[in-house]
Structure 1
């Protein structure tokens, strides 16, 4: 079983048996929700990303597995015993749980992805190759799978939406090995200069700086 500290550097989606809803709750309450992820971009823009309990509920796709679990009581339900086994005991819930399993295991990598991933801005807010998903940004990372069948990859796409003046992670979209960039093709790349993880008092907990340069295509000679 992973520890919550191990999730700070997790870069490969783990086996479902190595994680739990209780672990994710503890990790979220200590490292995600109390902190702000601040990004400075090369073009002069900047954004702050903040996690919420209800956003994490959606990232883990709980609404698709069991709608009776409410987004505002997600953590309290875990305290009362909600677990993966709860879903497995019901045939229909288990079927839905299996369908969302990859998305759930990828959540273990979310801290790593926010520090190391590539950010894309979606001017029209519509995520391509989806029916109705609307986001403002996607944080993307290509992740290697643990597989006995050779090296395979999936793309993790953390969807960020502005909610009441705050940018909140709201979904994880999994792109397949056959097309790991299916959700970000032709979207607007935002080149990151620096990332700061701060607490609510402004104290910097972790920071990362990039040697970011803007590539300009040469003007053709006529």
Structure 2
């Protein structure tokens, strides 16, 4: 089983049995949560600055934990699988991969790639490609929605981090994280194809005070 630090140093993706939900939480706590990332986005004749932060309440959502629990646990218990409660339940050992598999193995397998590729998020944040994302341009139709979509290709997969502006806040937050497998060289990523490409440059990574 890898530690969070070992996970950060990997050059090939881990096997699902070599990681745990708690290790991914520690990874997030060490390498993502403490920082504010700032980017300059150039789009036609306009330039804007985006500041991104990773809150603890985003963690479970990025890994699809609530999605696995939906329709399996009572609605009144869903809070245990999302937000701060979900974060704390991973930290105290109540939530782990075995528990999620037992809840809904089929749904867990459908989001397993999130867990395996999660370690690449810090690398993605260093040199992201990006589009202005419009879900109405995705075919077949999708529920995945965000304002900006950062992405990068690793081997035969594209990892995506969707960003959204917090209500009445200056910061963006990670709304979605997902992986699209490309089985053939000619395969197109439906989430990037037909979208408006933008140029993103990372300016800074500072520790939140």
- In which range does the TM-score fall when normalised by the shorter chain? 0.7 to 0.9
2:62 paired with 1:59: yes
TM-score (norm 2): 0.80
Pairwise mapping of residues 64-79 of structure 1 onto structure 2 (< 5 A)? 64-67=67-70, 68=78, 69-79=81-91
1:84 aligns with 2:71: no
Q: 1:113-152, aligned counterparts within 5 Å? A: 113-122=124-133, 124=134, 126=136, 128-129=138-139, 130-144=141-155
Over alpha carbons, which structure has the higher Rg? 1
Q: CA RMSD in A?
A: 2.2
Q: In structure 1, which of residues 165, 171, 174 is the aligned counterpart of residue 176 of structure 2?
A: 171
Query: How many Å apart are 1:160 and its aligned residue?
Result: 0.8
Question: 1:138-168 deviations in whole A, cap 9, x for unaligned?
Answer: 1111112xxxxxxxx0111111111222211
- Cα distance change, pair 56–180 in 1 and its aligned pair in 2 (3 A): farther
Structure 1: runs of 5+ lacking an equivalent: 145-152, 202-222
SS at match of 1:134: coil
Report the Cα offset of residue 37 of structure 1.
0.9
Indicate conservation of the 8 Å contact 2:124/2:151, yes or no. yes
Are the counterparts in 1 of residues 37 and 202 from structure 2 also a CA contact under 8 Å? no
Once residues 196 and 136 of structure 1 are traced to their aligned partners in structure 2, the CA distance between those partners, rounded to angstroms, is 21
Give TM-score scaled by structure 1 length.
0.76
2-side partners of 1:127 and 1:167: how far apart? Answer: 22
Question: What is the Cα deviation at residue 60 of structure 1?
Answer: 0.1
